[in-house]
Structure 1
Amino acid sequence: MEKPKFSMQSSLINSDIIFVKLHAPWEVLGRYAEQMNVRMPFRRKIYYLPRRYKFMSRIDKQISRFRRWLPKKPMRLDKETLPDLEENDCYTAPFSQQRIHHFIIHNKDTFFNNATRSRIVHHILQRIKYEEGKNKIGLNRLLTNGSYEAAFPLHEGSYRSKNSIRTHGAVNHRHLLYECWASWGVWYKYQPLDLVRRYFGEKIGLYFAWLGWYTGMLFPAAFIGLFVFLYGVTTLDHCQVSKEVCQATDIIMCPVCDKYCPFMRLSDSCVYAKVTHLFDNGATVFFAVFMAVWATVFLEFWKRRRAVIAYDWDLIDWEEEEEEIRPQFEAKYSKKERMNPISGKPEPYQAFADKCSRLIVSASGIFFMICVVIAAVFGIVIYRVVTVSTFAAFKWALIRNNSQVATTGTAVCINFCIIMLLNVLYEKVALLLTNLEQPRTESEWENSFTLKMFLFQFVNLNSSTFYIAFFLGRFTGHPGAYLRLINRWRLEECHPSGCLIDLCMQMGIIMVLKQTWNNFMELGYPLIQNWWTRRKVRQEHGTERKVNFPQWEKDYNLQPMNAYGLFDEYLEMILQFGFTTIFVAAFPLAPLLALLNNIIEIRLDAYKFVTQWRRPLASRAKDIGIWYGILEGIGILSVITNAFVIAITSDFIPRLVYAYKYGPCAGQGEAGQKCMVGYVNASLSVFQISDFENRSEPESDGSEFSGTPLKYCRYRDYRDPPHSLVPYGYTLQFWHVLAARLAFIIVFEHLVFCIKHLISYLIPDLPKDLRDRMRREKYLIQEMMYEAELERLQKERKERKKNGKAHHNEWP
């Protein structure tokens, strides 16, 4: 078997390092391209445009006449700087050496692009035997046992040039990608996905296609979320609830913690009531429904977009090759073999009982780690209930008067630090559990590891948010009968303005800090590592000037792509998608923050791939894999959580019940701001201060408000007054609100799920024009192949006749 040619070169930096450079000649590339069914261009496409597309093309021509007068084209790709990627303008077919005359070959050296050449060479290296023995096969084994330190395809040269790309053109594809894609100056331009695919392969190209599609779909979500927030700003002065809170100088609220927390006027929480209205207003329900529908539309249209990309990149009929068995699996089960139904060869076999036992142990480990997360959240809860009293007794008046906000802010920051520390632990545990399961192939290992890491990170990131949204202030009891942790610490109550402000702070701080930290680690860490490597090289050569090394040594000094491929990039975006959809009813600005981050993220990832990382191996993929199923699961969960946030966390339902049942407009079918008069007073219950427990009784007697000790204070709940038949029992309004909340959850979920399923049904996965193009292309390819074969046969017949006539004339 003919192998790739190679040469050896010692390192200029470290003489102990030897570089082995591989090159595949034309004969090797042709033979293995045929074995791997690599599709190559063989005839220019004849585009079939229906009447409507011809009409649209005329409109585009008219519009283009006006565009040339514009100084720049925002959100456009400067195609004049890109090379003619003729692969997208040609019909393709699996390469065949027997039919080589059918393919468009201008130059054999450039017929197979660099990504395809690297893929073919890697295919050979993965299957070649390096020693005599059953398991002595493949490059991965040599990397695992330390025979080789690294293996990577080379970049096509420097990504910088002294000359302008517009006047002198691009030096190479890497330079072109840097100028048209990875440069920060083109942040508002479309991505050259065809060039990304040609340089990095389909798998990385699909990631950036998905990231660009997700970012583009965030524009309407961010616009509507900003509109909801601005609606709250414009209606703030007309909000009857916030007006009543700000004017309630005569309503004295009960202390929110034991002993050190003082009585407070309800009007002191005027600012928090106004901030709550910015996020919890009449447009919140509409936005929650919109985001649930948006998530479905995003996924459905992504399937259509993926189909178009798969067609353009010749991935429709591509099927993954039969994967090799992982060396660890083979070493563990080498004594048990069975016949592979596909290849017909014997292979190691894992017994069903062994597989089940390992899965049970792995599931137990996952459950244990989730318990660790819950324990961490419980620790944060204890911190909150203990610290609120400490801040209430603080010397600084600013902190003492805002003890609840200070408690929430510090708890969120501590929670963020715990999240980042546990993430390091989760990665090690996920690796241990995945290796314990002994997956058969690399894709099975990757899927198992992905599910564990996503589950760990999702629970770790959102557990505190779930606590604040659905548990904070829900099980505190009431003054005189507070519920306590370990019969000692009184559970934390919501702010007099509600719990939504705590949820907004939690989401805002975590989202900003998480994205800032991720962006720093993605770009800052490789930049620092590469700078340190260059500094060491200059010191070893005893010069401060830039040393010119060959390309393979420059690439070796770059950072390798992480061992899990695109896992970290996808995980970051999927967790962000969860934050953007799951609790978006409580934080409408989440899509806007995600959009701003992703605009930076695209160029940051592009810059990292082009300039800071070694060139990853080009690999093919038809879609984003297991991540799509995770996105669908998050979309379903978001409907449920937003229904509960609106019904339980916000005051939307209590206000609605009051307007229609207990307010001045009760029974009239109206629900304006005039119908909310008296809502604040109706939502507060009365408590007799003499009924306080000894350990809950505040140090102050409240005489600072009226000059005499207070007899009563108010608290948020629907309970009877102390001198009623059932003191502090639930009122009828409480049960009406509870029934309305349950009814809203049921109606909201069923309505949104029906809309989601209707949209999924109405939007086909494959666009009609693409389906017609595929059918027509299949027909034209068959016709062209038939004509080409007929032409070849006629040519051979003419040559035989000509040769036969010549022989006949020579016969004596």
Structure 2
Amino acid sequence: MRQAMGSWTAISCSCCQMDSIQTLAVIQLRPNIKPEAKQWLMALLEAPATIGGPHILVHPGEDNEGHILLLSATECLLLQATEHLGYAKMDCHGFMRTFCYSSRTNFLHSDKRELFLSLSEQQFLLKYVVENLKVQAETYIPGYPDCILYPGQHVVHLLQKLKIVVKFYPLHDKPRLDSLKTRWYAQLNLAPQPIDAICSYFGESVAFYFDFLGYFTVSLMSMMLLSYFCAFFQDSLDKYVVFALFNILWSTITMEFWKRHSCVQAYFWGTLQWKSYLKPCRVQFRGTLTKNAITGKWELYYPPWKRVLRVLFVTLPIVCLFLGLTVDGMLIFLYWEKWAQDQYHKSNQFFATIMLYLPSVIHTFFMEILNALYKKTAAALTEWENHKHESTFQNYLTVKVLLFRFLNCFGLLFYITFYLQDVHLLKKRLSSLLIVSQTINQVNEFLLPYLQQKLKVGFKSQVGTNPFIDEVVSDGDLPSFSGLFDDYMELFVQFGYVSLFSCVYPFTAALLILNNITEIRTDAFKLCQVFQKPFPEAADSIGIWQVAFEMLGYFSVITNCFLISISPEVQAFCEEYEVGPESFLLYMLGAECEVFQLIKNDFIQANCGCLQKGEFEL
């Protein structure tokens, strides 16, 4: 989406002169925006660097309503932001080093913007500059005399809160997007995902998700092969012992290999040691405008003790209420399951056979509905708690949802495993969860977005006199991308099923592989065509989810060791050698901890060896 200079901001820097400018992002103002307010915002954005301005390139948009601003940036502005955020780039000797603007000639392709900075990096850096545009002196918004801005306030953030800025979003590059779609999901093949191309277009955060999704799917191949090998055993529980031992090693080695792989990716993407920039407070944050006694700047303040009271006396009881509903659902399932078993044994009719599987199916639907209701409730509660920064908001929301999902998805399975010790019921419950939940997810992940896309194409408005602006507005009319939280949560549940309980249902891995092959394409389709392009976010790993997956690895040690200890073969062995089942379980846990620690030490030594050789040193 390149345009001739035309109405763009004049470029004062001689080294940044260009024949055409690529639009990187769009600010959409309210439809009835006062012309003087629009001109004031444009003047703030394009203020030259000589007077402390950001010197962002701005185009008035020239749409029919007059409420579109097109944004871009000069090469110097992007390079200075690259240094400020601590990105690493390849120098002329082929080493990744932290970029320095004053010595930019020592870095490869630093004079060629398109080669030096990917589209995602340019849009991320532009967003950083725009978000950090601050008011230098107390003023008011022209045309809105009641809207006063104080020194140090973030301009775009405040305009979003006042609903003067309605949307702020990046633009798609249609030729690059079409090329990426062809390589990514448009062709029906099993070729590896173009992770580097995804990173260049959507940013490191999205690339890490799809990289982990593909890595997790490939890692399941070994478990699927073992399940087919175990199928040749007689119909007894001896294969569960083999599979449980494999699960323990698999869950540990998989995450250790992933940590090393993610470090390598972050190194070559230049984010291994990047600095997390200070973000303004959330648009939804509410508080009293006060003057900071230390910095002397005006800022919103909300007493922390009020937030603590809200968490203790409102959030906590509601979370406990949902946890109680989860437990009630488990008890009803167990009661109904016992009744269905009794009916099946009394009468072997077709209706009794259907009733035998009905409790598991209905309870799975109940779980999915409760998950959806709780997710909305948790988001509303976290919003009401009034957290100042987006990172804090996401952390509190993640903890709430993780706690509930862990109990809702795994609580009944743990009860069947440790209390009832019913391997056959555990197998039946796990198979029902996988089949029903994956079917529901596929409908939500593929069928609904596909129908939504078809309806959007069918009702597409007529093209106006300016096709470029019409395309810009069309991109903004798409629904906002909700983030990767739900996608990671789905992987978290999958990882729990396969690492904790798959020894009783070895075909878990095969079902998940089939689901994830489809998942990759449906997620890619939604990201490219259904939603607005999200602003790229720099990342050096999958973040807090790494800890969540590793915690499941620790739980898998306990669960699989216990399943081994209750198998008939092990119990017969204990009776023969007069060893108590509890003692055998303790021996298993102790031996597994030793093996677990040895594996981690080996990986740590291997990583240290790579660092000593300079493979990852910036």
Counterpart residue number, 1:215: 217
**Aligned residue number for residue 760 of structure 1:** 600
Instruction: Name stretches of at least 5 consecutive residues in structure 2 with no aligned partner.
Output: 1-52, 136-140, 142-147
Mapping for residues 573-588 of structure 1, pairs under 5 Å: 573-588=491-506
Query: Does residue 399 of the first structure (1) align with residue 399 of the second (2)?
Result: no
The answer to whether the Cα contact below 8 Å between 2:498 and 2:509 also exists between their aligned partners in 1 is yes
Q: Are positions 1:22 and 2:71 aligned together?
A: yes
Counterpart Cα distance in 1 of 2:394 and 2:248: 29
Q: Which whole-Å CA distance do the structure 2 matches of 1:185 and 1:422 have between them?
A: 35
Find the residue that maps to 1:325 and give its secondary structure. coil
SS where residue 6 of structure 1 aligns? strand
**Which residue matches 1:506?**
429
Q: Residues of 2 paired with 1:4 and 1:393: CA distance?
A: 78
Deviations along 1:269-317, one digit per CA (max 9) or x if unpaired, are: xxxxxxxx3xx42232122121111111111111111121121111222
Match status 1:302 vs 2:258: yes
Cα distance in 1 between the residues matched to 2:113 and 2:418: 65
- Which amino acid in 1 is paired with 2:248? A
* Superposed displacement of residue 449, structure 1: 0.6
Corresponding residue of 1:537: 460
The yes-or-no answer on 1:311 pairing with 2:312 is no
Q: Which moved more, 1:748-757 or 1:761-770?
A: 761-770
1:556 aligns with 2:557: no
Deviations 1:699-744 (A, max 9, x none): xxxxxxxxxxxxxxxxxxxxxxxxxxxxxxxxxxxxx8xx733233
Separation in 2, partners of 1:91, 1:629 = 27
Does the 8 A contact of 2:500 with 2:555 survive in 1?
A: yes
Measured on the aligned residues, the alpha-carbon RMSD in Å equals 3.3
Q: Greater shift after overlay, 622-631 or 30-39?
A: 30-39
Identity of aligned residues (%): 23
User: Aligned equivalents of 2:154 and 2:474: distance in 1?
Assistant: 29
Q: For residue 215 of structure 2, give the secondary structure of its aligned residue in structure 1.
A: helix
User: Residues 392 and 399 of structure 1 are in contact (CA less than 8 Å); yes or no, is this contact kept in structure 2?
Assistant: no
Change over 3 Å in CA distance of 1:121–1:285 after alignment to 2? same
Matches of 1:466 and 1:448, distance apart in 2: 25
Cα deviation for residue 575 of structure 1 reads 0.6
- 1:316–1:220 Cα change, 3 Å: same
CA distance in 1, matches of 2:549, 2:475: 35
* Match status 1:365 vs 2:318: yes
Looking at structure 2, the residues matched to 311 and 180 of structure 1 have their Cα atoms a distance apart, in angstroms, of 24
Q: Given that residues 502 and 508 in structure 2 are in contact (C-alpha distance below 8 angstroms), is that contact kept between their aligned partners in structure 1?
A: yes
Which residue identity is paired with 2:266?
Answer: A
Q: Residue in 1 aligned with 2:179?
A: 176
> Helix, strand or coil for the counterpart of 2:274?
coil
Gaps of 5+ in 1: 46-89, 158-171, 236-276, 475-498, 661-668, 670-735, 779-812
Q: Which amino acid aligns with 2:56?
A: P
Aligned twin of 2:538: 620
**Contact kept? 2:574, 2:581, Cα under 8 Å:** no
User: Can you list the C-alpha shifts for 1:435-460, whole angstroms capped at 9, x where unaligned?
Assistant: 34443421121111112112212221
Count of paired positions? 550
Q: Aligned partners of 1:455, 1:108: CA distance in 2, in Å?
A: 45
Query: How do residues 82-161 of structure 1 correspond to structure 2 at under 5 angstroms?
Result: 91-96=96-101, 98-103=102-107, 104-105=109-110, 107-108=112-113, 111-129=116-134, 131=141, 132-134=148-150, 137-157=154-174
The 5-angstrom pairing of residues 246-645 of structure 1 reads 277=235, 280-329=236-285, 331-332=286-287, 334-335=289-290, 339=294, 353-354=305-306, 356-361=308-313, 362-388=315-341, 397-400=349-352, 402=353, 406-472=354-420, 499-537=422-460, 550-562=470-482, 565-645=483-563
The residue type paired with residue 164 of structure 2 is S
- Alpha carbons 2:445, 2:519 under 8 Å: kept: no
- AA at the equivalent of 1:332: G
DSSP-derived class of the 1:320 partner: coil
Q: Which residue of 2 aligns with 1:681?
A: none
Amino acid in structure 1 at the alignment position of 2:232? Y
- CA shift for structure 1 position 335: 5.0
* Distance (Å, rounded) in 2 between the aligned partners of 1:22 and 1:309: 30
Q: Deviations over 1:72-105 (max 9, x none)?
A: xxxxxxxxxxxxxxxxxx6454241x43443424
- Structure 2: distance between partners of 1:748 and 1:407: 39
Cα deviation, residue 654, structure 1: 4.5
Q: Which moved more, 1:127-136 or 1:755-764?
A: 127-136
Which amino acid in 1 is paired with 2:193? Q
Measured after TM superposition, the shift of residue 749 of structure 1 is 1.8
Distance 1:111 1:119 in 2: 14
Match of 2:56 in 1: 4
* Equivalent pair of 1:155/1:174 in contact (CA under 8 Å): yes
Of 123-132 and 455-464, more deviation after overlay is shown by: 123-132
Give the distance between the partners of 2:574 and 2:54, measured in 1 at CA. 81
> For residues 397 and 209 of structure 1, do their structure 2 counterparts lie closer, same or farther at Cα, with a shift above 3 Å needed?
closer
Shift of 1:631: 0.9
Deviations 1:391-431 (A, max 9, x none): 6777x83334x4xxx44410011101111211122112212
TM-score, normalised to structure 1, is 0.62
Q: Which residue identity does 2:92 align to in structure 1? A: R
SS state at 1:619 partner:
coil
Alpha-carbon distance in 1 for matches of 2:573, 2:62: 78
Rounded to whole Å, the distance in 2 between the matches of 1:584 and 1:34 is 48
2:72 aligned partner, one-letter code? H
Q: Which digits, 9 at most, give the CA deviation of each residue in 1:346-366, with x for residues without a partner?
A: 866666654544443334433
Amino acid at match of 1:617: F
| Superposition TM-score, scaled by structure 2 size | 0.80
- What's the secondary structure of 2:502's corresponding residue? coil
Q: CA deviation at 1:368?
A: 2.7
